[in-house]
């Protein structure tokens, strides 16, 4: 609704079953084949077991002392789902494909010359790793978008403005120098996902220097946040990005139950304006945001800020 109020034209992505081979190709450019095969059939296999729970939760996960792969259904759940915030239900696979379908349409519009497109994805994706679901994310929509854009643009940047570290996106591109990943988030010493998101994670191999984490302390306000965004913007410029993906979370809002920042609705206008000043083809991809009452206004502010430079 907020996007409509900001003047966006709405286009519905095709149902996944009508474009499944295109989606599969794009998904496999980012995700591990065995993981995708697991996601596709996990629930139907699981639900055939007597006394199966209605959703698949990991009961135990591999850890630094136990790493042998095992095809037992309980072991598979722990192998492919990293935490209890990404249960797989009857429609998880179909819904995740719907998000990817939206992203594929959105990237095709950018490739055709649109300056800005907003992909309204649910579920979100930035915690999903190459072969692992976590944090309500199964397929990494922002990463899939970046790889799609990379087919046309030599250098693609991702700025993740969700309140939580975009660990999945970081993991997927950690060794690549052609896709710059930046995440501004609550300091992982205090917030999910706890084990990544620190400043000393720069990338490795060809990707060394192409991952930038900007952790911010609890209570960070607009002035503090915009400074971090300014730093991100200058890195995008020095990288000479030709296209931009913004992993767009609104859980940075002051009232968000999962957030820790103090942004106001009007802050998103300023964020949109700063992103627009980069003057790049820009794809917003919806990530988190849990204070539902303000999502409409915050999305509207972001888009209006982008358009009214």
Which residue, among 133, 119, 153, has the nearest Cα to 246 in the 3D structure?
A: 119
CB closer to Zn ion out of 203 and 288: 288
Q: Which residue has the tokens 């915690």?
A: 127
Helical ranges in 48-140 per DSSP H: 73-80, 92-111
Distance CA 174, CA 216 (A): 21
The count of residues interacting with Zn ion (CB under 5 A) is: 6
Shortest separation between residue 145's beta carbon and Zn ion, angstroms? 17
Terminal Cα distance for the chain, rounded: 22
**Residue nearest to Zn ion according to CB distances in the complex:** 288
The reply to whether 163 sits near Zn ion by the rule CB under 5 A is yes
Using CB under 5 A as the criterion, what x/- string covers residues 49-78 for binding Zn ion? Answer: ------------------------------
Distance CA 146, CA 166 (A): 14
- Candidate residues 201, 222, 251, 256; the one interacting with Zn ion per rule CB under 5 A: 251
Residue of 127, 164, 165, 185 marked catalytic:
127
Q: Which residue has the tokens 């710059």?
A: 180
Using CB under 5 A as the criterion, what x/- string covers residues 201-240 for binding Zn ion? Answer: ----------------------------------------
Q: Taking contact as CB under 5 A, which single stretch among the options 38-46, 151-159, 251-259, 274-282 is the one that binds Zn ion?
A: 251-259
127 a catalytic residue: yes
Distances (CA, A) of 244 to 67, 276, 277: 37, 10, 12
- Candidate residues 58, 125, 249, 281; the one interacting with Zn ion per rule CB under 5 A: 249
The CA dihedral of 54, 14, 285, 282, to the nearest 10 degrees, is 170
Shortest separation between residue 103's beta carbon and Zn ion, angstroms? 18
Q: In the numeric block, which tokens belong to residue 47?
A: 């639900």
CB closer to Zn ion out of 164 and 273: 164
Shortest separation between residue 272's beta carbon and Zn ion, angstroms? 18
The reply to whether 288 sits near Zn ion by the rule CB under 5 A is yes
Which residues 6+ apart lie within 8 Å of 218 measured at CB? 186, 187, 190, 191, 260, 261
Using CB under 5 A as the criterion, what x/- string covers residues 111-150 for binding Zn ion? Answer: ----------------------------------------
Shortest separation between residue 251's beta carbon and Zn ion, angstroms? 4
R_g over Cα of the chain: 19
Q: Which residue has the tokens 């899939």?
A: 144
Q: Taking contact as CB under 5 A, which single stretch among the options 234-242, 265-273, 275-283, 284-292 is the one that binds Zn ion?
A: 284-292
Q: In the numeric block, which tokens belong to residue 233?
A: 């913007």
Please answer whether residues 178 and 153 qualify as being in contact, where contact means their C-beta atoms are separated by less than 8 angstroms.
no
> Residues with catalytic annotation?
127
Q: Which residues bind Zn ion (CB under 5 A)?
A: 162-164, 249, 251, 288
């Amino acid at each position: 609704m907020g996007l409509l109020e900001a003047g966006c034209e709405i286009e519905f992505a095709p149902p996944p079953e009508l474009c499944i081979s295109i989606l599969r190709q794009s998904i496999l450019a980012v995700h591990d084949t065995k993981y995708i095969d697991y996601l596709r059939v996990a629930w139907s296999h699981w639900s055939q077991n007597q006394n199966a729970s209605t959703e698949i939760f990991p009961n135990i996960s591999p850890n630094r002392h136990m790493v042998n792969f095992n095809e037992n259904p309980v072991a598979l759940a722990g192998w492919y789902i990293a935490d209890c915030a990404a249960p797989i239900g009857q429609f998880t696979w179909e819904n995740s494909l719907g998000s990817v379908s939206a992203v594929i349409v959105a990237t095709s519009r950018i490739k055709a010359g649109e300056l800005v497109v907003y992909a309204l994805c649910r579920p979100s994706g930035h915690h999903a790793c190459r072969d692992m679901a976590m944090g309500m994310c199964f397929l990494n929509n922002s990463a899939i978008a970046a790889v799609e854009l990379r087919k046309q643009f030599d250098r693609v940047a991702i700025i993740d403005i969700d309140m939580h570290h975009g660990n999945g996106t970081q993991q997927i591109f950690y060794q690549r120098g052609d896709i710059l990943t930046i995440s501004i988030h609550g300091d992982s010493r205090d917030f999910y996902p706890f084990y990544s998101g620190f400043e000393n994670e720069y990338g490795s191999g060809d990707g060394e220097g192409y991952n930038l984490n900007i952790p911010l302390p609890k209570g960070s306000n607009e002035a503090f946040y915009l400074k971090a965004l300014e730093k991100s913007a200058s890195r995008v410029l020095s990288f000479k990005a030709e296209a931009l993906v913004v992993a767009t979370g609104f859980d940075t809002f002051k009232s968000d139950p999962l957030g820790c920042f103090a942004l106001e609705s009007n802050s998103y206008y300023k964020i949109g304006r700063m992103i627009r000043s980069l003057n790049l083809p820009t794809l917003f991809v919806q990530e988190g945001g849990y204070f539902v009452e303000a999502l409409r206004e915050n999305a509207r502010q972001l888009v209006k800020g982008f358009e009214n430079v």
